[in-house]
């Protein structure tokens, strides 16, 4: 069990509570094989105008935790405990009718596969207008349509008044994602949860969409939670990064700290698993062995221990017996990590970095 003091939910948090505060969030689902704990003891926060990147693999709980922020889990089956505060309002346990007023209005969500996430039988403009009217009941159909066209125009869809009458399948992949973003932003939300918003897109289209998201964030001063497995996207978009593994946060800090001075072997594994488009071509890929852990029967001790290449550096088999807490790094202030290694920074600099990015070392080399 991890108890994190509220003051440490965000590294370097300033005065006043951030727009979104998640504290000690736990989400459990019953399944036929038993209860699974999809998210456990998760805490983070996002301020307006800032972007939090959540990184993790399938089953890490990154999407489950964000769906909980919107209250999208079936309240009858999912057991949600802890606290989620949106603009100071507690939403865990909030009634469905009150939650509905927040969804799509204060907090909206952008999904990965816009082709599947937009209804195939309704026109794009109609789907946007519907999102507007549900939170503006006094608006007429014409007003809603005008607003929809305005938003389509804002996200860069050419001839928006004509394209509003198209069905989603008549849009290209990039345009569909733009329409999805337009729908997410039509009610001026303060928090946008973007779940792998560019994963299905080509790189040049991905670049366009990321540009658009950043422009819109600047314009509306919204907070963004960006869920992705692409470390490059995170590096360019996020202010803070939360790395999740097996339903828990395992590393949390500013984007710069997490990606340049990672403190947790799982993050190292992620970094060494992806080739760099500009790095040394001779740098080997060092995969993380094995597969992600079962949420049904998580391994004892640290959830990452069966795949960890550095547990030999921790004495007394601590890794296989005791779950490490998410604590501040001894060397980097405000940087939280869940690992028993005494000085992970030193291990990373001495062992990992020279292998995965030899050219970085040469740059720092005084010779």
Partner 1 sequence: MYAYIVKRLLSGVVVLFLVSFSVFALFWFGPSAPARPMCESKTSNHCTDDRLERFTEELGYNNNMFAEYGRYMGGIVTGRDVTISGQTTECPAPCFGLSYTTGKPVWDDMKDRLPATISVAVGGAFLYLIIGVPMGVAAARRRGTLADKALVSSFLVLSSVPYYLFALLTYLYVAVWWGVPGIGSPGYTPITENPAAWVSGLALAWICLGVFGCTQYTRYARGAMVEALSEDYIRTAKAKGLPTRTVVYKHGLRAALVPIVTIFGIDFGTLLAGTIFTEKIFDISGIGLWALNAIGDRDLPIVSATALFSAVVLIVSNLLVDIVYSALDPRVRLS
Partner 2 sequence: MTETNEPTTDATGGASFADLAGQEHQPPRLDPDAPPVLTVDNLRMWFPVKSSGVVSRTVGHVQAVDGVSFEVPKGGALGLVGESGCGKSTTGRLITRLYKPTSGSMYFGENRQDIAAMSNRQLKPLRRDVQMIFQDPYTSLNPRHTVGAIVGAPLEVHNVVPKKQVLKRVQELLEVVGLNPEHYNRYPNEFSGGQRQRIGIARALTLNPKLLVADEPVSALDVSIQAQVINLLQDLQKEFDIAFLFIAHDLAVVRHFCPEVAVMYLGKIVEIADRDTLYKSSHHPYTQALLSAVPDIKQAAVGGRRERIRLEGDVPSPINPPSGCRFRTRCPIAKEICAKVEPPLMQIGPRHKVACHFPAELGKAPQHPVTAGLLGVDSQGSPDAGVTPTAIAEGPGYEKQWFDLQRREMVSA
What's the CA gap between 111 and 108, in Å, rounded? 10
What's the CA gap between 147 and 140, in Å, rounded? 11
Chosen from partner 1, partner 2, none, partner binding at 82 (C-beta under 5 to 8 Å by type): none
Q: Is the dihedral of CA 82, 86, 88, 90 positive or negative?
A: negative
Give SS3 for 193: strand
233 binds partner 2, rule: CB under 8 A: yes
CB under 8 A: which stretch of 131-139, 213-221, 324-332, 358-366 binds partner 1?
A: 131-139
Chosen from partner 2, partner 1, none, partner binding at 208 (C-beta under 5 to 8 Å by type): partner 2
CB under 8 A: which stretch of 3-11, 19-27, 129-137, 197-205 binds partner 1?
A: 129-137
141 binds partner 2, rule: CB under 8 A: no
Single out the residue of 46, 54, 64, 102 in contact with partner 1 (rule: CB under 8 A).
102
292 binds partner 2, rule: CB under 8 A: yes
Helix count and strand count (H, E) for the chain:
15, 12
Single out the residue of 94, 134, 283, 318 in contact with partner 1 (rule: CB under 8 A).
134
Hey, which residues between 56 and 85 contact partner 1 (CB under 8 A)? 70, 72
The closest alpha carbon to 317, from 335, 300, 333, 329, belongs to 300
Torsion of CA 321, 325, 330, 334, to 10 degrees: 160
Single out the residue of 39, 54, 64, 109 in contact with partner 1 (rule: CB under 8 A).
109
Torsion of CA 56, 61, 63, 68, to 10 degrees: -150
169 binds partner 1, rule: CB under 8 A: yes
Chosen from partner 2, partner 1, none, partner binding at 294 (C-beta under 5 to 8 Å by type): partner 2
100 binds partner 1, rule: CB under 8 A: yes
CB under 8 A: which stretch of 4-12, 92-100, 125-133, 276-284 binds partner 2?
A: 276-284
Token pair recorded at residue 141: 């159909």
SS3 track for 76-87 = CCCEEEEEEEEC
Hey, which residues between 230 and 289 contact partner 1 (CB under 8 A)? none
| DSSP H or E segment with residue 346 | helix 344-347
The footprint of partner 1 (CB under 8 A) covers 70, 72, 96, 100-105, 108-109, 111, 113, 116-121, 130-131, 134-135, 167, 169, 183
């Amino acid at each position: 069990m991890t108890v994190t003091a509220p003051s440490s939910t965000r590294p370097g948090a300033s005065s006043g509570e951030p727009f979104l505060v998640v504290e000690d969030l736990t989400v459990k689902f019953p399944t036929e094989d038993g209860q699974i704990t999809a998210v456990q003891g998760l805490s983070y926060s996002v301020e307006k105008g800032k972007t939090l990147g959540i990184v993790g693999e399938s089953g890490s709980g990154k999407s489950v935790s964000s769906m909980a922020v919107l209250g999208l889990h079936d309240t009858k089956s999912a057991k949600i405990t802890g606290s989620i505060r949106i603009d100071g309002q507690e939403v865990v346990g909030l009634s469905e009718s009150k939650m509905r007023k927040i969804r799509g209005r204060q907090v909206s969500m952008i999904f990965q596969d816009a082709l599947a996430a937009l209804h195939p039988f309704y026109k794009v403009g109609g789907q946007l207008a519907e999102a507007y009217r549900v939170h503006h009941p006094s608006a007429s159909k014409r007003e809603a349509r005008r607003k929809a066209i305005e938003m389509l125009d804002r996200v860069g869809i050419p001839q928006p008044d004509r394209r509003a009458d198209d069905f989603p399948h008549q849009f290209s992949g990039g345009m569909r994602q733009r329409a999805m973003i337009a729908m997410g932003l039509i009610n001026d939300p303060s928090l946008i949860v973007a779940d792998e918003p560019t994963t299905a897109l080509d790189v040049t289209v991905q670049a366009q969409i990321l540009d658009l998201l950043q422009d819109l964030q600047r314009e509306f001063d919204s907070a963004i939670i960006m869920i992705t497995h692409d470390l490059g996207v995170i590096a360019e978009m996020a202010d803070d990064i939360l790395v999740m593994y097996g339903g828990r946060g395992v590393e949390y800090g500013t984007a710069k700290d997490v990606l340049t001075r990672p403190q947790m072997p799982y993050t190292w594994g992620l970094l060494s698993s992806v080739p760099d488009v500009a790095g040394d071509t001779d740098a080997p890929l060092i995969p993380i062995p094995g597969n992600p852990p079962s949420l049904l029967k998580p391994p004892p001790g640290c959830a990452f221990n069966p795949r960890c290449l550095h547990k030999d550096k921790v004495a007394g088999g601590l890794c296989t017996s005791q779950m490490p807490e998410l604590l501040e790094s001894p060397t980097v202030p405000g940087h939280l990590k869940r690992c028993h290694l005494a000085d992970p920074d030193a291990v990373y600099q001495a062992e990992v970095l020279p292998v995965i990015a030899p050219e970085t070392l040469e740059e720092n080399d005084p010779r």
